[in-house]
Amino acid sequence: MPLRFDQRVAIVTGAGGGLGRAYALELARRGARVIVNDVGASRDGTGASDAAEQVVAEIAALGGEAIASGASVTDAAAMDAMAAEAIDRFGRIDILINNAGVLRDRSFARMTAEDFAFVLDVHLTGSANATRAVWGTMRAQGHGRILMTASSSGLYGNFGQANYAAAKLGIVGLARTLHLEGAKYGIRVNTIAPTAGTRMTQDIFPEQAFAAFTPDSVAPAAVYLVSDDAPSGAIVGAGAGVFQAAYITLTPGVRLTGDDLSAEGVAAHWAAITDRRGEIVPGSGAEQAMSILQQLQ
């Protein structure tokens, strides 16, 4: 059966181009009513344009229904106002895709405090602002689907992206916690780590790779992860039609006692400590403490 979103209402931030635009258009094709949010800035967060209005026009041409929002995700009050407008217009909010982002890449030695803080503000605090704006509505409905956007840079690191990587891994922690807190209210929270050829990456990818890594080849994962039958707590990599699952694992570890309970003991047992045989994927942070208690018993 095709995935449909009839009567569902979706907010997509950063939807004026690239991935966000692809998500918004695909949701609209499948029946969703969409709030297209974008300030229309360049990839470093400066300037403005009517990008959101252009995507709304594209959705209208498809026979869909959408409204534009030029609110900045860094402005919590503006996010609240955007959510209120969605409720006034459509009566509910079912889906939020936190996609808005900027890049200010530099090696850490050359990165200013302003550039570090601004990227965290847009990606991490912006995701929290938008989510907080819809959280109460989703709880009251007993239904909600939220998709966060992380990155391989956050999961694994990337040269010249200390600010971006810090924000993106912070988003993973936010998503994992909201997955736990939202479960009893019917709110499912997932994370996508996309690789796509967009204006954010146009001078990073070789030309041939840029053409292969289209936003449309990522959109299927995003659409599934906000569907009624979506999982929750997943971290999904997506790019060029390849879809992967990422996990944060924990090795069984080694209990050190006596003289071994020292820096020298850690060094001596390092191979056993890092041995991945029998590693687990904790469902929450508490499971690390539980695994330690099991060894103490």
* pLDDT tens digits, one per residue of 107-147: 999 999 999 999 999 999 999 999 999 999 999 999 999 99
- 41 — pLDDT class (breaks 50, 70, 90): low
User: Cα–chain-centroid distance for residue 292?
Assistant: 30
pLDDT value of position 150: 98
Burial 236-273 (b: 16+ CB within 10 A, else e): bbbbeeeeeeeeeeeebbbeeeeeeeeeeeeeebeeee
Dihedrals φ, ψ of 27, to 5°? Answer: -65, -40
Q: Is the pLDDT of residue 257 over 70?
A: yes
| Confidence (pLDDT) at 60 | 98
- pLDDT-based confidence at residue 26 (cuts at 50, 70, 90): very high
Which pair of structure tokens corresponds to residue 142?
């007993």
* Percentage of residues in the chain having pLDDT higher than 90: 90
pLDDT band at 20 (very low <50, low <70, confident <90, very high): very high
**Long-range contacts at 78-82 (CB < 8 A, ≥ 24 apart):** 79/129, 79/130, 79/132, 79/133, 80/133, 82/11, 82/35, 82/37, 82/130, 82/133
Q: Would you call 77 exposed, middle or buried from its count of C-beta atoms within 10 A (0-12, 13-18, 19+)?
A: exposed
Residue type, 180: L
Q: Please report the domains of the chain, with CATH numbers, ordered by start residue.
A: 9-246 (3.40.50.720), 258-296 (no CATH)
Q: What's the angle, vertex CA 214, arms to CA 20 and CA 93, rounded to 5?
A: 20
- Tell me the average pLDDT across 248-274: 98
Sign of CA dihedral 5, 8, 11, 15: positive
Secondary structure (3-state) at 235: strand
- pLDDT confidence of residue 297: 87
At 206-238, the pLDDT tens digits run 666 667 789 999 999 999 999 999 999 999 999
Q: Among all residues, which ones are annotated catalytic? A: 164
Strand order in the sheet with 235-239: 66-69, 33-37, 9-13, 95-97, 144-149, 187-194, 235-239, 242-245
Segment 58-63 mean pLDDT: 98
Residue length of the chain:
297
Q: What is the DSSP letter of 106?
A: B
pLDDT of residue 212: 79
Mean pLDDT of 170-199: 94
pLDDT at 211: 74
Rounded mean pLDDT of the chain? 94
User: Alpha helix locations (H) across the chain?
Assistant: 18-29, 51-61, 76-90, 113-120, 126-141, 152-156, 162-182, 207-212, 219-225, 263-268, 270-273, 286-296
Is 58 strand, coil or helix?
Answer: helix
Q: Is the pLDDT of residue 197 over 80?
A: no
Check pLDDT > 80 for residue 84.
Answer: yes
pLDDT at 40: 86
Q: How far apart are CA 100 and CA 33, in angstroms?
A: 19
For 29, the token pair is 């094709």
How far is it, in rounded angstroms, from Cα 256 to Cα 4? Answer: 54
Contact of 247 with 191, CB cutoff 8 Å: no
